[in-house]
Structure 1
Amino acid sequence: MILYRPTGQKELDLVSASGFKRWPPRLIDQPIFYPVTTFSYAEKIARDWNSILPAPNNFGYVLRFEINRETADRYSVQQAGGRDHEELWVPADELERFNDGILGVMEVVAIYRDGQRVE
């Protein structure tokens, strides 16, 4: 299953430190890790939310990654608003197990700054 994750600079730095192989533990106020199922939904969040924070955190990234079938089957896809807003909901206490199901390495597929795509 191919998934996307919109993220800001701090989370990207932690993912980079793992060699782009693992998502960092959730903060206490983040009970669910939710990658999304489409690039367009991830792009909207990265562009319209992550990239409009005050500098130096005014970057939004979209990461693409793949999980194995066993991991994909463990979690349900949830609709978060519109028809194209689908998320895979992973309880925070299962994130390490989820990370074990990532195939290969994550890839940064888009970067946004101040609401604009950076080429």
Structure 2
Amino acid sequence: MPGTTTLWRPTGPAELDLVAASGWREWPPRLPEQPIFYPVLNVDYAIKIARDWNVPHSGAGFVTEFDVDTDFVSRYPVQQAGGRDILELWVPAEELPEFNRHIVGTIRVTHTFPETA
């Protein structure tokens, strides 16, 4: 069995609905204004985005966790998007179908942040 790398993805309800419709097996195609798919390398960064960005913009935020074949995912260099722990992979939108084929198992929701009153 190949080795896997765990990644996280903060997301809003619309994208999460599309993931659920796929049987929790793949990420939906990017929209025209989204040329890159950004999974992140640590859960704390994913939580911050889901809570501080997704909730105000879409009413809820979710953190998902998923595993990808390590040999495949190593083609994407780690990008430091800010501080030392703000690490992402930048997957071009046109490569997302192939990326999805290398997900091992299912995409799992690990944290949910509803809008607060």
Q: Distance in 2 between matches of 1:20 and 1:5?
A: 13
Corresponding residue SS for 2:74? helix
1:29 is aligned, of 33, 42, 61, to 33
Q: Distance in 2 between matches of 1:93 and 1:115?
A: 36
Q: Percent identity at matched positions?
A: 53
TM-score, structure 2 as length reference: 0.93
- The answer to whether structure 1 residue 43 and structure 2 residue 44 are counterparts is no
- The answer to whether structure 1 residue 108 and structure 2 residue 109 are counterparts is yes
Q: CA deviation at 1:71?
A: 1.7
TM-score, structure 1 as length reference: 0.91
Q: CA deviation at 1:113?
A: 1.4
Q: Return the letter of the residue paired with 2:18.
A: L
Q: CA deviation at 1:114?
A: 2.2
CA contact (8 A) 1:52 1:113 kept: no
Q: Return the letter of the residue paired with 1:106.
A: I
Which runs of at least 4 in structure 1 moved beyond 6 Å after TM superposition? none
Gaps of 5+ in 1: none
Aligned residues: 113
- The answer to whether structure 1 residue 17 and structure 2 residue 21 are counterparts is yes
Q: CA deviation at 1:115?
A: 5.8
CA deviation vs aligned residue, 1:51-83 (integer Å, no higher than 9, x gap): 113xxx301000000000222111111000111
Q: Return the letter of the residue paired with 1:25.
A: P
Corresponding residue SS for 1:74? coil
Gaps of 5+ in 2: none
Q: Distance in 1 between matches of 2:115 and 2:96?
A: 30
* Cα RMSD, aligned residues only: 1.3
Q: Return the letter of the residue paired with 1:8.
A: G
Q: Return the letter of the residue paired with 1:18.
A: S
